[in-house]
Structure 1
Amino acid sequence: MGHSHDHKHSHTHTDLKGRNLVVSIFLNILITAAQVIGGLLSGSLSLLSDALHNFSDVVSLIVSYIANKLVRKKASLHKTFGYKRAEILAAFINAASLIVIAILLIIEAINRFNNPKEIESNLVIWLSVVAILGNGFSVLLLRKDSETNMNMKSAYLHLLTDMMASVAVLIGGLLMQFYKVFWVDSLLTFMIALYLIWMGWDLLKQSTKVLMLFTPDDIPVSKIVEEINTLPSIKNIHHVHIWQLNEEETHLEAHIDFYKDITLSEFDEILHKIEAMVFEKYHINHVNIQPEFGKEDAKDIIVQD
């Protein structure tokens, strides 16, 4: 038996979220194309690295957009949960891509630092300004949704880090223009890459925990077990699993051993009490309990399936 707490989202909000992603995708395609051309013409590695990061933004935004559409599809006989994990998977892919790109940039920055080249700084300056404006607008579009959705947060972080990287490139362009310190291009690339790793790592850990069905950090399993065990007629709660399906659904699955052979209606009353308890205190909104009486099985809280 289980319980499902309704989560109502208006189609208008979801459509707006999708539209904002589309706008951001097209903006980043234009920025990427301009920076690739500008980087090749100017010889700036930091501009090319920013272009590469922008290209990763395009890919991540497309993945986020597809996930945003998939999550709205209904469940079926072959997909009983539907595509509710699509956005978590998108967040994982985006975070992993950030880190991989950052490592590649570090390698290239070290190579370029050992062999600095003269760079056409005027082009670097103007294109970095264009990137700041474009990414800044995209950041504003996604900021609100990033506060409540892991997928949108991953897209938002891609755009925010790229805007900050463009600011660094602009500063580097100004330094090269007025002081002719061309090694700063490699230094900025290295710093951008380190920042990408720092931003991506936390999101990678969060999405991995959800995909691996780990218990959320803020849910104390032992305490929940103690509280449920205090209910009358419950002898023992064991074989407990608590996990997140996505950012909106947290599931509790367990076996409960009863002192006596209770009726189905009595079990329903106890189940409703458990549902109310775990929802109000721990925001667990899906409960699935297997009732038992006199069954010989492992009674440990955690049982290896």
Structure 2
Amino acid sequence: MGQPHNHTHSYHTSDTKLTISIFLNVGITVAQIIGGLLSGSLSLLSDALHNFSDVISLIISLIANRLARKKSTTNKTFGYKRAEIIAAFINAATLLIVAVLLIKEAVVRFLEPQQVASGLVIGLSAIAIVFNGLSVLLLKKDSNNNMNLKSAYLHLLTDMLASVAVLFGGLLMQYYHWFWVDPLLTLLIALYLIYVGFDLLKESTNVLMLFTPESIVVDDIVACITTIEAIKNVHHVHIWQLNDDEVHLEAHLDFNTDIRLSEFDVILNQIEAQLFYEFGINHVNIQPEFGKCDSKNLIVQD
């Protein structure tokens, strides 16, 4: 008995928000590339590179968002529900790649400092803050419950913070001629990208590898199920997260007596309710057993 979920409205709403964010970031990227080349600002060009990665990540998120609501078929029984997790993984990986490229460029600029047209840097970074701020506000609510949208949101949030840093650096260069601030800010932006990107990469990898969600303790689930008097043993347990909304459990139950199928249905309903309300598991597949000779280990090496 799976718990029903209806995300049709939220998916369509997310499509609209992602599309708006894509257009906003295309505009920022083009403006910052031109401005960075004209001003000679590495931090502005690095922000443009990050913005370009935002555009790619938003497009990936939009595609995944649309794929996720395609219906299941006989040869795709889960449909494309994992498309969003793959998108989150790709977006997290691009954050780390961009960070490495920025660190490399920052080191080069530290060794060979260059004068920067700070006025242009200030103006363009201010515009980027406004546009990225709008995109962040659009996706903030939806990012709380969706790993795919969270990855897009993090791209935009880090870029907005990067633009704030670039603006601050532009002011320091304008009034104090501290041109070393430009590569320093680039380095700080890159380190922050590594910080947020690694966490999301780890989270999406855990889902793709079918690891048990970190919030779930298998021993607690076993203890919960075995409180039911008719059950002797819980073994051969697998728990995995399909996507942001679905957590699956499959297990073998060894019964004390040879119960009837109607009795098992009553117990199964009880187990499903307990697992859903106490652990958030909404898809349960139980194999009942009585006197069967097989491994009774909690985790069986298949």
Residues of 2 paired with 1:15 and 1:271: CA distance?
35
Q: What is the CA distance between 1:14 and its match in structure 2?
A: 2.2
Asked if 1 retains the 8 angstrom alpha-carbon contact of 2:8 and 2:69, the reply is no
2:28 matched to which residue of 1?
A: 31
Q: What is the CA distance between 1:10 and its match in structure 2?
A: 4.3
Residues of 1 paired with 2:266 and 2:135: CA distance?
50
- Correspondence for 1:83 among 61, 80, 83: 80
Map of 1:207-286 to 2, 5 A cutoff? 207-286=204-283
Residues of 1 paired with 2:56 and 2:170: CA distance?
27
Residues of 1 paired with 2:290 and 2:54: CA distance?
55
Residues of 2 paired with 1:234 and 1:269: CA distance?
13
1:9 matched to which residue of 2?
A: 7
Q: What is the CA distance between 1:66 and its match in structure 2?
A: 0.5
- Correspondence for 1:18 among 7, 15, 18: 15
1:127 matched to which residue of 2?
A: 124
Map of 1:31-110 to 2, 5 A cutoff? 31-110=28-107
Post-superposition Cα deviations, 1:34-74, rounded to whole Å, max 9, x if no partner, equal 11111111111101100000000000000100011011100
Query: How many residues get paired?
Result: 302
Q: Helix, strand or coil: the match of 1:4? A: coil
Post-superposition Cα deviations, 1:82-115, rounded to whole Å, max 9, x if no partner, equal 1111111111111111011101111110111010
Q: What is the CA distance between 1:260 and its match in structure 2?
A: 2.6
Instruction: In structure 2, give the amino acid aligned to 1:165.
Output: A
Residues of 2 paired with 1:42 and 1:78: CA distance?
55
Q: Helix, strand or coil: the match of 1:237? A: strand
- How does the TM-score come out when normalised to structure 2? 0.97
Post-superposition Cα deviations, 1:6-52, rounded to whole Å, max 9, x if no partner, equal 012343x3222111100100111111111111111111110110000
Map of 1:130-209 to 2, 5 A cutoff? 130-209=127-206
Residues of 2 paired with 1:233 and 1:199: CA distance?
47
Q: CA RMSD in A?
A: 1.1
Q: Helix, strand or coil: the match of 1:194? A: helix
Instruction: In structure 1, give the amino acid aligned to 2:274.
Output: M
Residues of 2 paired with 1:198 and 1:136: CA distance?
21
Asked if 1 retains the 8 angstrom alpha-carbon contact of 2:126 and 2:163, the reply is yes
Post-superposition Cα deviations, 1:108-127, rounded to whole Å, max 9, x if no partner, equal 10111010011111111111
Residues of 1 paired with 2:205 and 2:259: CA distance?
40
Identity %, equivalent residues = 67
Q: Which 5+ residue runs of structure 1 have no aligned equivalent?
A: none
